[in-house]
Amino acid sequence: MTTPNHLSPGRRLRDLMAEPGIMVCPGVYDGFSVRLVEQMGFKTASISGAGVSETNLGWADVGIMGYDENVRASAALAACSNLPLSADGDTGYGNAINVYFTIQGFERAGLACLMIEDQVSPKRCGHMAGKQVISAEEGVEKIRAAAEARRDPDFVIKARTDATAIHGVGEAIRRLNLYAEAGADMVFADALLSAEDIATVARNVSKPLAVNMGFGIRQRPTTPLLSARQLEDMGVKIASYPRLLTSAAIQGMKNALGVLNQSLAEERVIDRPDLLVSFDELNNLMGLPRIKELEARFVRKPE
């Protein structure tokens, strides 16, 4: 499925960022999701830190997943996809020195971009109550270390602030501009609560703005769901959908297991092919044609 590319992942992501219009990034978290996003024609994707944590560890996104688990999962996704992928580096797993080595680890793993946020560790999902943030000065130190750590100058640093929920939109804008001055290539204010807030941040930051759209998040208050065109008109450059696929996967499994329970209760076979992909489609998505091609070239058939 993957093919060599003479451009680094960071360079390819920067080229996409330079194209006109908004960049849409579905949130991926495993081999199924990243291959499907690529097959469906998307040019890039964001690895959902929450999705990786929840699907690998089975616990909520409250900072339980560590560096090793995160970078290992992200490397696997980068290895099975041609997409330039952005990963979620949480708080950088410590202070600015930890951030320095975190950046280098994710760059070696084949990622195009890493996001570093200014929450107090252990962090939590941006739409959960109880968040706290470090000082803006410490956040600047982390982003400065991140920018200097990269070996490929095209590797993209994404700076996230969670200050809105605690200190308001004005402080979020101030922090994002400080992080941009420190070396961030794109910025992200999490948990903005209105379209007006999104537009205000987009107008007042000095680097491309990313916004998360909350498919699958039903609690309120949270970021309003807007179309990509609406976001583009506000000045947003990157629209991410981090929980769309994880929430859809859970609902799909619930539907299938519900049919299985019905089948057991009624003691009969219930065939619902509309709930499942075929075996052939699954194998094609997972790269079996490529494996067969390699077998034909390198594996000698028995006499």
The residues spanned by each domain of the chain are 21-249, 256-298
Instruction: Find where tokens 């390819």 sit.
Output: 12
Residue 176 in this model has a pLDDT that exceeds 70: yes
Domain 21-249 - what CATH class?
Answer: alpha beta
What pLDDT score does 124 carry? 74
- pLDDT interval class at 3 (50, 70, 90): very low
What pLDDT score does 2 carry? 43
Instruction: For residue range 66-92, list pLDDT tens digits in order.
Output: 999 999 999 999 999 999 999 999 999
- pLDDT interval class at 4 (50, 70, 90): very low
Residue 217 in this model has a pLDDT that exceeds 90: no
Residue 216 in this model has a pLDDT that exceeds 60: no
Return the structure tokens found at 19.
């194209």
Return the structure tokens found at 204.
């007042």
Residue type, 69: E
Q: Once rounded to an integer, what is the mean pLDDT over residues 88-112? A: 97
Q: Indicate whether this model's pTM tops 0.95.
A: no
The contacts of residue 65 (CB under 8 Å, 6+ apart) are: 49, 52, 53, 56, 57, 90
Return the structure tokens found at 252.
């799909």
Residue 94: left if φ>0, alpha if ψ -120 to 50, beta else—which one? Answer: left
